[in-house]
Chains A and B, each alone.
Chain A
Amino acid sequence: DGGITQSPKYLFRKEGQNVTLSCEQNLNHDAMYWYRQDPGQGLRLIYYSQIVNDFQKGDIAEGYSVSREKKESFPLTVTSAQKNPTAFYLCASSIDPRGELFFGEGSRLTVL
């Protein structure tokens, strides 16, 4: 079955630690995205990538970094510079930015 896999599903980290969230897709989609969702809020765009080896900042990129070395993979690193990292992180992909987004099941990060 084609889809998007995010891991881990739940992650706890201490303040000052970097963590990397994995996102893998086997849909052969060119575009991939990372969104953040806080309780009672919509999704906010962190980073997106239209093609391998290229990515752009979204609305809230500060404190985050990404890489796109392979078409299938778009990992997100939450650095210690991110002031309020506790949130629900969603990875998505699409054939085209105008089309349907396919989401992974999300990763819940809690900073202790």
Chain B
Amino acid sequence: RKEVEQDPGPFNVPEGATVAFNCTYSNSASQSFFWYRQDCRKEPKLLMSVYSSGNEDGRFTAQLNRASQYISLLIRDSKLSDSATYLCVVLPDTGRRALTFGSGTRLQVQP
């Protein structure tokens, strides 16, 4: 089983739609959780950290469910500029001090 698993998509949604992505992680003792955004052929950039209490940044909401070991990202009022690949990232508690990336979920927002 992969440490971090995501639905690869693509998710094709119209502008203005609300879309949600889920990500599951295998190590129950994982410490830190993030969503990164990666545009085609570019480097990933931090979108937001994910906190236990859930957190919101404008149109983006991230949730963490430790009991079920999943993280979610909700995007409201999708814009064309949201089209990208969204990477779920976890710091597993394995003694290795480096982030583990999921394969990413591709989002395509259409006019």
Contacts and interface: CB of A to CB of B under 8 A. Distances in A.
Contacts of A43: 44, 87, 101
Contacts of B97: 31, 48, 50, 97
Interface residues of A, number: 24
B103 A41 contact: yes
B46 A101 contact: yes
Interface residues of B, number: 25
Contact of A45 (B6, B87, B98, B104): B98
A98 interface: yes
B96 A90 contact: no
B104 A97 contact: no
Contacts of A50: 97
B14 interface: no
A101 B99 contact: yes
A72 interface: no
Contacts, number: 53
A13 B103 CA distance: 27
A56 B96 CA distance: 9
A33 to B, nearest CB: 6
B8 to A, nearest CB: 7
Of the listed residues B6, B34, B49, B98, the one surrounded by the most CB atoms of chain A closer than 10 A to its CB is B98
Given A40-B8, A42-B87, A43-B87, A100 B46 contact: yes
A98 B31 CA distance: 8
B71 interface: no
A106 B103 contact: no
Contacts of B87: 42-43
Interface in A68-112: 88, 90, 97-101, 103-106
